[in-house]
A = this chain, B = another copy of it.
């Protein structure tokens, strides 16, 4: 049975004692002052306030590093040695536990509870990390196969030999809740017509992409690859978030040859606010999709269980009806390549990773109808409408649509390790 907390934690909460995800919040007490925090049940613990009130005074190893809790991002915390992060997390678990070995620090200090513990509904979440560079991979092979079939292409011959990816736009990554404006751009109204003369207009084929993102916590030197052996690549990963790589399919189709997706992706990418540590996710490691190619040694992780069993859901809520429909159920395990493999590939040239860099998995689709990770797939390229509630349907997103991703690992009540929500609402295009 999962350990119990003196703080009431709903049985179905994604933020059980087994989780302890990290984020950045502002509170009613300090609305202008972002602080590191952890989520627990329906609450957030403000780590800056907790620390200022000697909450960590009995945790020796953090003493020289307490300034990490006075930062407006988690970069400094993430950059700590993993042992110290481990001790902080288990210490935080212990102060919420009412069994043997629990610390009375917070439980018996009502004043500190009042100062540092806030209902989640009263806090505002912010970007958890300052992102240096953002890379998006394409490791969901069900997605890649569906898309290839749709455009009458065969799978790229490199696909099973390396994690295909492209550099993304770090400045356009935003936290859950940020409105996403339908972009303007160039595209072919009729891709088959000749000559190819583009239209300039608001995107018509606006889509989401269901992905996971991993945050980097350790640098490598310029010119020095990160080896995959012995968990080294894994040790560069702080934790994981849900990610919506909003995509303008018409703009993408026109722009992406020859140098890849560009404006179709830099209009915004949304991440969930709470970073779930890879320590919390470790019990949910599982096997990914089978790769029948022999992988090169720099990509050979030497273990089968290298992706996470995280149930993923996609909801669409149209503005007018307000009726939410879960349109897809997928799982984060539907990947051909793991985050450590992506990291090893990304740096094999000596490309430097920095603390705060974000790596996206690529769209994660299951292998059956109702598990697609984007509307392009689910509507079969805009041919088949996806049913919503109230008789509504969608081929692509409409203005006012709210897209919500959820992800949770585990199935024991009181011990779920989840991400909360990754949410964005489509705003109408600007008028020009």
Main secondary structure of the interface of A (DSSP, over half): loop
Does residue A262 face the partner (Cβ distance < 8 Å to B)? yes
Q: Say whether, besides A158-B198, A164-B258, A345 and B171 are in contact (CB < 8 Å).
A: no
Q: Number of A interface residues, CB 8 Å?
A: 68
A348 within 8 A of B: yes
Q: Determine the chain B residues whose CB is within 8 A of the CB of A167 once the complex forms.
A: 166-169, 262, 266
A350 CB to closest chain B CB (Å) equals 5
Residues of chain A touching chain B, judged by Cβ–Cβ distance below 8 Å, are 132-133, 135, 138, 153, 156-158, 161-162, 164-172, 174, 178-179, 181, 183-186, 195-198, 200, 222-225, 248, 251, 254-264, 266-268, 296-298, 345-346, 348-354, 357, 427, 430, 432
Report the 9 A-B pairs with minimum CB-CB distance, sorted nearest first. A260-B260, A183-B349, A266-B351, A267-B349, A167-B167, A166-B259, A181-B223, A157-B196, A200-B296
In the bound assembly, the distance between CA atoms of A223 and B346 in angstroms comes to 29
CB distance from A177 to the nearest CB of B (A): 13
Apart from the given pairs A161-B186, A181-B350, A263-B348, 14 other A-B contacts in the complex at a CB distance below 8 Å? A132-B170, A153-B258, A161-B198, A166-B166, A167-B167, A167-B168, A172-B222, A184-B298, A184-B349, A186-B296, A225-B430, A263-B351, A267-B349, A350-B430
Q: Which residues of B contact A268 (CB under 8 A)?
A: 222-223, 350
Inside 8 A of A195's CB, which chain B residues have their CB? 157
Complex-state Cα separation, A336 to B92, whole angstroms: 58
Tell me how many chains of this kind the complex includes.
2
Contact pick for A248, options B138, B257, B349, CB 8 Å = B349
A260 to B259, Cβ gap below 8 A? Answer: yes
Interface centre among A157, A195, A264, A354 (most CB of B within 10 A): A157
B257 touches A158 (CB 8 A): yes
List of B residues within 8 angstroms of A261 by Cβ: 259-260
Please report the C-alpha to C-alpha distance between residue A350 and residue B248 in the assembled complex, in whole angstroms.
12
Q: Could you jot down 18 A-B contacts, CB within 8 Å? A: A132-B170, A157-B196, A158-B186, A164-B262, A165-B262, A167-B168, A169-B351, A171-B351, A172-B222, A174-B222, A181-B223, A184-B348, A186-B296, A200-B296, A225-B430, A256-B258, A258-B260, A298-B432
Q: How far is the CB of A401 from chain B (nearest CB, A)?
A: 16
A297 engages B186 (CB within 8 Å) = no
